[in-house]
Amino acid sequence: MTILAFAGGVLAATWRMATPLIFASVGEVFAERSGVINLGLEGIMLLGAFGAYAVTFYTGSLWLGVLAALAIGLLLGLLFALFTVTIKANQIVVGVALNLVGSGVSGFLFRSIFLNSDFPSLNIVSFNNMSIPILSRIPFIGPVLFQTNMLVYLTVFLVPLASFLLYKTSFGLSVRTVGEHPKAADTMGVSVSRIRYVCVVAGSMLAAVGGASLTLAFANQFVEDMVSGRGFIALAAVVFGAWSPWGATGASLLFGAFYALQLRVQAMNNVLLPYQFLQVLPYVATILALVSIRNRAQSPKALGVPYQS
């Protein structure tokens, strides 16, 4: 294997591995810009992954699976917003609880419906790779950018759209004002809690789709606790990306690169390192990323603070 082929393999896997993180972190950008930090992303992604898997398993339709993830994200987002925005409970504690519930419910349902069942196979047919005609044949760039699956391609539309929404629309202005100075937004006649509900719910729906990409686009099965920290890595990507959709995407791609590197090196048969050294890469990279940033001042001023009118 040449170095170029190896680099191409890593780069192609980078975007794929970054996809769950991009969905979750871009959504979380909105929640945090409106002043709410959702530490329950991990649990939401897990339930999204499970719900999408279960629905696709029974219906055979991948898009119904995505729809199921959206619905689950909607419900969990409403639950999170109810606790943190309406009754103003501590956002960290609610997030922790949501993660416990997410891990418990997905594990419980997976075991009681699927594991002790007599289904001949628990696999689903996941999203195929789609080659984009002509472009996919460009050497090196083609396989990296134009031979992947629908959910990964979706991020190309998601990120510019999110950025436009946040910076170029009056809704985006309201979101940013609510996160920086809720009192001012309130005085201007913007409903702080409505904006926060919308942002938390939208973020939660995107996180659930990010989770769904794990079962629908990468693995063809659900595995208990398969999100394995991606919800928290997405939270770090938001900070590392300075609370902007493009920044969070860049950070997600960076973390995705560590996942990709780990996959590609493990796939080589002459591995010099014990696999645990590779497995640990994304987690260590996340800590280093949090330590290396200097732009903490850009954090929304009202982040984590319930609004008392």
Partner 1 sequence: MPVVAFFVALAVGAVILLAAHFNPLLAYQAMYEGAFADFRSFTEVLLGATPLICIGAGLAVAFRCGVWNIGGEGQFYVGAVAGTAIGIYFQMLPGWILLPSVLIGGVVGGGLWAMLAGYLKGRFGANEVVTTVMLNYVAIIGTGYLVSGPMIEPGGRYPQTVQIARSAWLPQILPPTRLNIGFVIALLLALALYLLIFRSSTGYAIRAVGINPEAARYAGIKVNRNILLAMAISGGAAGLGGAMQIAGVTYRLFEQISPGFGFTAIAVSLLVNNNPLGVILSGILFGGLSTGSRLMQMNVGVPSVLVNIIQGLVVLSVVAFGAYRALTIEHEE
Residue 188 to residue 195: CA distance in whole angstroms: 13
Q: Which residues of 123-154 are buried (b: 16+ CB within 10 A; e: fewer)?
A: ebebbebeeeeeebeeeeebbbbbebbbbbbb
Span interacting with partner 1, options 13-21, 47-55, 131-139, 290-298, rule CB under 8 A: 290-298
Residue 296 found at the interface with partner 1 (CB under 8 A): yes
> CB-based contacts of 48: which residues, under 8 Å, 6+ apart?
69, 72, 73, 207, 208, 209, 210, 211, 212
Span interacting with partner 1, options 11-19, 166-174, 187-195, 287-295, rule CB under 8 A: 287-295
Q: Which amino acid is at 139?
A: P
Sites for partner 1 among residues 82-141 (CB under 8 A): 83, 87-90, 92-105, 107-109, 111-113, 116
Residue 277 found at the interface with partner 1 (CB under 8 A): yes
Residue 272 found at the interface with partner 1 (CB under 8 A): no
Asked whether the beta carbons of 126 and 216 are under 8 A apart, the reply is yes
Smaller CB separation from partner 1, 147 or 228? 228
Sites for partner 1 among residues 35-64 (CB under 8 A): 39, 43
Residue 119 to residue 96: CA distance in whole angstroms: 34
Placement of tokens 């001023």 in the chain? 301
- How many whole angstroms from its chain centre is CA 187? 34
Residue 284 found at the interface with partner 1 (CB under 8 A): yes
Residue 301 found at the interface with partner 1 (CB under 8 A): no
| CA nearest neighbour of 63 among 148, 127, 18 | 127
Span interacting with partner 1, options 59-67, 165-173, 207-215, 234-242, rule CB under 8 A: 234-242
Residue 151 found at the interface with partner 1 (CB under 8 A): no
Instruction: State the minimum distance, in angstroms, from the CB of residue 2 to partner 1.
Output: 31
Residue 37 to residue 6: CA distance in whole angstroms: 38
Residue 283 found at the interface with partner 1 (CB under 8 A): yes
Chain residues in the site for partner 1 (CB under 8 A): 39, 43, 83, 87-90, 92-105, 107-109, 111-113, 116, 228-229, 232-233, 235-236, 239, 274, 276-277, 279-280, 283-284, 286-287, 290-291, 293, 296
